[in-house]
Homo-oligomer: A and B are copies of this chain.
Amino acid sequence: MSIVPKQHFNKSNMNLFRPDVDRVAGYIPGEQPQESGWVKLNTNENPYPPSPQVVEAIAEAAGGRLNVYPDPLATRFRRRAAELLDVDPDWILPANGSDENLTILIRSFVDPGELVSYPYPSYTLYKTLAELQGAEHEQLPLNADWSWNYQLAEPIVERSKLVFVPNPNSPSGNLWSNDDISRLIPRRGILVLDEAYVDFSDAALGIKMLSCEAGNRIVITRTLSKSYSLAGMRFGFAIACPELIFGMRKVKDSYNCNALSLAAAVAALEDIPWMQRNVQNIQNTRVHLTGQLERLGFDVVHSQANFVWATHSNRLHKVIYESLKQRRILVRYMHFYDKMSTDTPEIDGLRITVGTDSEIDRLLQALEIIV
């Protein structure tokens, strides 16, 4: 490789970017301290390791033929996922993490100037993706108890080309029913049901909606990052009718999933009991965490995810977050500057990932002192 002098250009002819890109601040991922010793409850990672079968499958694939391209159609993975979900493989589109599928969706369906909507507060990436695409974007109003304000939301849904709805939602962790969701399918657009956290809920019913009347305008996205303990692996998949999957496939890079993540994903879906055991542990810890937070004076939304949304009526959330951070415990402090609806106040709070029992004990001990 050759040599170029270390130098920086400070010339200001950098207005070559698309104005939409210039304007975007960019999505800011949660803090990722690189040293050990932290209790990390800020980015909704699963505290348990993935199945040993996954680790074996990766090692085997690494010793295989990495010099050749992976299967661009992800045939083995799609077959396995299809079996589990009882659909045909044509209903499955794997991606390099669920984030990539969200990007593919917006690039597939939304032209500049068309409307993208999503509940507020929810995953902040939806807005960033809409901005990058040059799309219009609007927030779908929720009530203070995280139920839908349909009177305000439905007219926006009707004008939308694409609606993102995470279910369970983040940061709240609540799960909306299929009846709720069915009112959010735009008549001339796509509903994306982002089910990143659905395995932590009592019932994953969203997929039933694919067979409803409007099911061919619904795309469900899933990820192996959370319930399958594979955030480091980057693997997600979309489920939708073949006509939608066919078009989305044209937008993705041909070889978007590498040989190792494909092998890992197949192995992960072949060890469902391992995933379910970890999910059960997290659900148990969630009950404990919720009860103890309430005892300490927090209001906690009934969570169906691997995190809880906690607010305290007479302590400053930012101060609690900072005090925890001083003790090397990271939770996510979130402040939402817009209102959920016209009649709700501005909110902030703490989103706390459900870690192991011992991590949660350390958190609770610290909170006993702080609040």
Residues of chain A having any CB pair with chain B under 8 Å? 1-9, 11, 13-14, 16-22, 24-27, 29, 32, 34, 40, 43, 45-50, 54-55, 58-59, 61-72, 75, 84-88, 90, 96-97, 99-100, 103, 107-112, 132, 134, 161, 188-190, 203-208, 210-211, 215-217, 225, 229-234, 241-244, 247, 249-251, 253-261, 264
Which B residues are in CB contact (< 8 Å) with A210?
A: 4
Which B residues are in CB contact (< 8 Å) with A204?
A: 1-2
A sample of 26 inter-chain contacts (CB < 8 A) reads A2-B206, A2-B208, A4-B211, A6-B88, A8-B88, A13-B216, A14-B247, A18-B111, A21-B108, A27-B254, A34-B71, A48-B67, A50-B67, A59-B62, A61-B232, A66-B232, A66-B264, A68-B232, A96-B234, A96-B253, A111-B134, A112-B134, A132-B251, A232-B258, A232-B260, A258-B258
CA distance A260 to B68 in the complex (A): 17
Which B residues are in CB contact (< 8 Å) with A14?
A: 216, 243-244, 247
CA distance A4 to B84 in the complex (A): 10
The quantity of this chain's copies bound in the complex is 2
Are B17 and A109 in touch, CB under 8 angstroms?
yes
4 smallest beta-carbon distances between A and B, as pairs: A232-B259, A26-B250, A58-B62, A67-B229
Q: State which of B11, B132, B244, B259 has its C-beta within 8 Å of the C-beta of A107.
A: B132
Which B residues are in CB contact (< 8 Å) with A264?
A: 62, 66
Given A100-B253, A234-B255, A259-B233, A63:B67 Cβ within 8 A: no
Identify 16 new A-B residue pairs, CB closer than 8 A, beyond the known A2-B205, A7-B211, A49-B66. Answer: A2-B204, A6-B87, A8-B90, A9-B241, A16-B190, A16-B217, A17-B108, A21-B107, A34-B71, A55-B66, A66-B233, A67-B231, A68-B232, A232-B258, A232-B260, A234-B255
Are B17 and A247 in touch, CB under 8 angstroms?
yes
Which B residues are in CB contact (< 8 Å) with A242?
A: 8-9
CB distance from A164 to the nearest CB of B (A): 15
Are B207 and A4 in touch, CB under 8 angstroms?
yes
Residue on B with the closest CB to A247?
B17
CA distance A8 to B63 in the complex (A): 39
CB distance from A220 to the nearest CB of B (A): 10
CB distance from A93 to the nearest CB of B (A): 13
Which B residues are in CB contact (< 8 Å) with A17?
A: 108-109, 247
Are B260 and A85 in touch, CB under 8 angstroms?
no
CB distance from A267 to the nearest CB of B (A): 11
Are B21 and A250 in touch, CB under 8 angstroms?
yes
Are B99 and A96 in touch, CB under 8 angstroms?
no
Q: State which of B11, B25, B49, B243 has its C-beta within 8 Å of the C-beta of A216.
A: B11
